[in-house]
Structure 1
């Protein structure tokens, strides 16, 4: 049985070879979830739609730089970075993120796997100390720089960096366990 990630890997490999039909299929399979991710960050449907188009243009032109495995994570990161850059240039929007949105939903048709992954992520994220969760959310969900987090949380820069680094390490260990 072919997993959703394997299917995306095949499509993405074809996109790297400039296969327009594969690119259209990739767009059809991923645009709704990527649009949802963008809306959560910019909180504006029109801006999210513009960023989605910009993101897919970028995907087309730099696909050869993308990974052979896990293209979904790469595309999510690309879109997320576009949205965060937009927010930084045009001011902050209120985000609709919850703690369970620390990572985008894994693309796939197998809802049981997606639910299991989300449950694992939620469980692991909830085991982190509050300050680590908060620092990670501010950095990776809301797009704050370390300096902005220092101002918000009133802790030294070294402490903020340690919380983020250690929190991500703990999250990875929990997920990999």
Structure 2
């Protein structure tokens, strides 16, 4: 099925053929959705990850390299990475919790202040454009190098650096308010 169906459809998708892309989606979406759902455990997040994966597939179909794996493997990896990004994003936002055994006195005050700062950071991150937020998240939360972010987002190095620089400037302005 790979050589006879998926590869030609991906090639046509790379040329902007919407019908080929629709057929590729029809054939592969159950597998990509299943991967996302297995990781995310929530249908609405799995839908989001799957949709984001297909947007990335549409924009990057021409970047597929046969020597690095099958079309389906490439597509599943895109969906998997998007699902993992969503998991990390939601984990970062949910880290602001005070436990029942919260410290008292000065430590409690510091914990509340830290929680407020994390909440403000999460709010400021939400205000960034999607690519900026994702690039900053990959670089600073996941600890990826600029080159790893380039590979992950399939965007040029200059673009990644600009997204990160402008995103950090926006965060700095937002946090100083």
TM-score (norm 2): 0.48
Q: Which has the larger radius of gyration?
A: 2
TM-score (norm 1): 0.48
Q: Which has the higher contact order (CA 8 A, sep 6+)?
A: 1
- Bigger helix fraction: 2
